[in-house]
Amino acid sequence: EKQAMLAGEKVKQDGGAEHRGRFAFDAKATPFGDYDHAFISAVETRWYYYIDNNLVTPRAGKVICEFKLTNDGRITDMKIENNDVGEILGMFCRNAIEDNQRYPKWPDDMRRVIGSNSREIRFTFYYN
């Protein structure tokens, strides 16, 4: 299992930091760091967009989303496995993943290595 931890820190001009949250990415390890990094960045950027542009005060807790990412870049079988922060903050997480339909197709060698038309992925979003 591979975990990428992303710290959500928005640095202000004065050098202080405002902490919004972070998330963890679980998927079977693949040598396709570039693809995964771009995928994670797209989700993370979207999640922070929701947090920053809604008048919802995040409460501490986490949301776990499990889904499949298909080789043609679609998200299927989305399930929220755990949510202890309420419906709206949970929806931010789900939407952050689903909004960017579609993601890029997998490179040929990635398809070969994964040996399947989809991968199971779990994102854990931590609200601080």
| Predicted pLDDT of residue 57 | 79
Residue with tokens 């931890």: 5
For the chain, the first-to-last Cα distance in angstroms comes to 25
Task: Please tell me the predicted confidence (pLDDT) of residue 6.
Answer: 41
Write down the pLDDT at residue 30: 63
| Top-confidence residue, 49 or 8 | 49
The per-residue pLDDT for range 79-91, each reduced to its tens digit, is 999 999 999 999 9
pLDDT at 124 over 70: yes
Continuous H helices in 23-117: 33-52, 87-98, 108-114
pLDDT of residue 74: 95
The whole-number pLDDT of residue 10 equals 34
State the pLDDT confidence band at 73, using cuts at 50, 70 and 90.
very high
Tens of pLDDT, residues 17-64: 345 677 677 666 666 788 888 898 899 999 999 988 998 877 889 999
Query: What's the confidence (pLDDT) of residue 29?
Result: 60
In whole angstroms, what separates CA 105 from the centre of its chain? 17
Percent of the chain with pLDDT over 90: 46
CA 67, CA 69: separation in Å to the nearest integer? 7
Section 95-109 average pLDDT: 90
- Over the range 99-116, which residues count as b (16 or more CB within 10 Å of their CB) and which as e? eeeebeebeeebeeebee
